Structure 1
């Protein structure tokens, strides 16, 4: 990317689309005027143009036809219509990167009539460059294109390459949806603090620093979470009492079942896919 400065089209310029384009610009991976952001809302496109200097489009085809890399960042429910509209308007050697939950490589390749596809699953912290993205390429993606993918997804934070596509549904349930679990946990802790009698601002400060400090501590100690939990769980103490109640309430089971439900939903989103063989580019 440093030498070729490809033109990148974002099909869908919502929250994650903006996270990608802002990361690309922040990391200096491609000039702002090489980023084409397409979406139905004129005001949104103008907002992004004024903020970042990108080129806005309301016509997906017009943006895709000019792009070396096309990033699909639309809602799963809109994907079929978008792919049908884009078919025949992708450059033959273009790279397609999808961040659409549940959409398989086969589905995208068949509906687009294009085989150079990368399926990926980023998460919300990518908006501040602290996310993590799991990705898998189709057989047609060459090594130079994989390097490009690493740079683009790296603008969102960490990236993990996998060779089996079934990991993407797992990643959707664990890391893609994961921030929602964390935010719910934070909300519950803060509300509990307010219920105890703390002003909300103090409860928020206590909870945020406790959670972020615990994560940093875990990273530095590099011990199993159970070992770290035991460090702060004295026999007959407050932590032991709280954990006993959480276990009795099915805390672990609830989390496990919630993630499994998200995994099954991700698979359901990908079931409506055309059949067909994915072939290498000749």
Structure 2
């Protein structure tokens, strides 16, 4: 895949590093084809030493010879980054954004560049086990779409959608989803400790229970309710626990939490749109 152009990663944080590591791990790029640019000198030095990539602190310099420009900055800094790179993206380059809540229209207008992919990965992408929902602008051609899939292949699975509104939904469901799972794990582990297990044993029991349950669902492909019924005997322990969870509003709480995340994502996008500088 080395015939593809250089890649510039603007914002080599956790997800930016995940992309860099994935591209190198899968042999899709060489270190010398990757430029990482960010404001933190120590972080840049760390990334450069760990992966052998070019680490610089000038966004304009980073994108100068790039065929793919990946925006992986915090949402709070996107206006500054867009202003800095306005009109600087090479004409044939693809802009690839993983910034939550920032629309394709905003990125395109902010950079004065039409070929834009917007994607929402999640944190398991850091070990190549993520799921990414993505879409693109009308200006993205077949070759650029192939470049986008190359980047996504370094993160795990991918799902293409033709309606950008699904990206905000994905942010709430799969993007924020690991946080819900980790909270659930934490609660189960703490419950195990409360019962009398050591924290180490409780963590092992919970981790394998969740891993095994997911793999079992993946293999059986039955409705989750059917699988739940398999382990729920009449008047048994699981029935008692599930009754309490339903009474406590567990199912409703999850649904409302996902909806709250979705609303927040939409709010963030609207808020940033209204703050765009006039020259963008």
TM-score band, normalised by shorter chain: over 0.9
Contact preservation (8 Å) 2:168, 2:265: yes
Contact preservation (8 Å) 1:132, 1:157: yes
Alpha-carbon displacement from aligned partner over 1:70-94 (angstroms, at most 9, x marks no partner): 0000000100011000002110111
Unaligned runs of 5+ in 2: 276-280
Residue in 2 aligned with 1:42? Answer: 41
Residue in 1 aligned with 2:124? Answer: 125
Residue in 2 aligned with 1:115? Answer: 114
1:3 is displaced (CA, Å) by 5.0
Mapped partners of 1:147, 1:69: distance in 2: 11
Residue in 2 aligned with 1:234? Answer: 233
Mapped partners of 1:204, 1:3: distance in 2: 42
Contact preservation (8 Å) 2:2, 2:30: no
Alpha-carbon displacement from aligned partner over 1:177-204 (angstroms, at most 9, x marks no partner): 0000000000000000001111100100
Q: Is 1:29 paired with 2:28?
A: yes
- Aligned residue pairs total 275
Alpha-carbon displacement from aligned partner over 1:131-173 (angstroms, at most 9, x marks no partner): 0100000000011111111111110000111100000000000
1:47 is displaced (CA, Å) by 1.0
Alpha-carbon displacement from aligned partner over 1:236-282 (angstroms, at most 9, x marks no partner): 0000000000000000100000000000111111113269xxxxxxx
Unaligned runs of 5+ in 1: 276-282
SS in 2 for 1:70: strand
Contact preservation (8 Å) 2:2, 2:28: no
1:5 is displaced (CA, Å) by 2.8
Runs (4 or more) in structure 1 with deviation over 2 Å come to none
Residue in 2 aligned with 1:169? Answer: 168
SS in 2 for 1:193: helix
Residue in 1 aligned with 2:224? Answer: 225
Residue in 2 aligned with 1:89? Answer: 88
Residue in 2 aligned with 1:58? Answer: 57
Alpha-carbon displacement from aligned partner over 1:208-263 (angstroms, at most 9, x marks no partner): 01110011111111110000000000000000000000000000100000000000
Mapped partners of 1:216, 1:209: distance in 2: 10
Contact preservation (8 Å) 1:74, 1:100: yes
Q: What is the Cα-based RMSD across aligned positions, in Å?
A: 1.3
Mapped partners of 2:45, 2:248: distance in 1: 50
SS in 2 for 1:195: helix
Mapped partners of 2:27, 2:220: distance in 1: 34
Residue in 2 aligned with 1:279? Answer: none
| TM-score, normalised relative to structure 2 | 0.96
Residue in 1 aligned with 2:278? Answer: none
Contact preservation (8 Å) 1:111, 1:274: no
Mapped partners of 2:187, 2:83: distance in 1: 43
SS in 1 for 2:18: helix
Contact preservation (8 Å) 2:193, 2:202: yes
| TM-score, normalised relative to structure 1 | 0.96
Residues 187-266 of structure 1 aligned to structure 2 (within 5 Å): 187-266=186-265
Mapped partners of 1:111, 1:220: distance in 2: 45
Contact preservation (8 Å) 1:67, 1:94: yes
SS in 1 for 2:238: helix
Q: Is 1:182 paired with 2:181?
A: yes
Mapped partners of 1:263, 1:138: distance in 2: 22
